[in-house]
Amino acid sequence: MALRLGDIAPDFEQDSSEGTIRFHEWLGNGWGVLFSHPADFTPVCTTELGLTAKLKSQFAARNVKAIALSVDPVDSHHEWIKDINETQGTVVNFPIIADHDRKVATLYDMVHPNASETVTVRSLFIIDPNKKVRLIITYPASTGRNFDEVLRVIDSLQLTDNYSVATPGNWKDGDDVVIVPSLKDEAVLKAKFPKGYKAVRPYLRLTPQPNK
């Protein structure tokens, strides 16, 4: 059965470049980004892993841990990490799961037979502190992931979890946000949004980002 938004991210125990990972224990009480790769020494994935290493401080500022997955064994991962560090000018500072038996790939529905019977697709999952899956993106092999978008979605999720707002198209941290349509009481609106709001339509009300 395919994993869907709102499902609990499956727990697992698997080898990695940093030792055995017990996934829920490793996540702790924070957010997680799990992203998969079809194999080691693949060019697009090499650039993505280097970029993720460079973004460690930005992930940490949002209480997010990153973890990658590839179906090759740990020894291969360690050799690949050397290449990533050298070619991308960084130091890989997060674990890469060695999913040699495709246990995790199966749990997370990463093998799509119409794409390949054996190679994992390039999926990315954002997982919240309650271990719920909040975002799933699956990329084609030819297209590198946009980690600016991953950070943007995390910002949106963390904001909207704590305030009665949603974020409009192309929103970035600091932009105006949308008040959820279910909130109608004017006294409540004034209390929640002291900076006021602009009603473009009764269902479309814009307000400054409340945590800024």
Given the residues 34, 45, 127, 151, the one annotated as active site: 45
CA–CA dist 126, 75 (Å, integer): 27
Return left, alpha or beta for 131; rule: phi > 0 is left, psi -120 to 50 is alpha, else beta.
left
Nearest alpha-carbon partner for 124 in 102, 144, 98: 144
Alpha-helical regions (H) of the chain: 23-27, 43-54, 56-61, 74-88, 103-107, 147-160, 186-192
Is residue 45 annotated as a catalytic residue, yes or no? yes
CA-closest candidate to residue 70, choices 26, 28, 37, 22? 37
CA distances from 200 to 55, 178, 180, 203, 205 (A): 37, 10, 13, 8, 6
Between CA 212 and CA 210 the distance in angstroms is 6
CB 64 within 8 A of CB 30: yes
Decide: 69 and 162 in contact? Cβ < 8 Å: no
Active site residues: 45
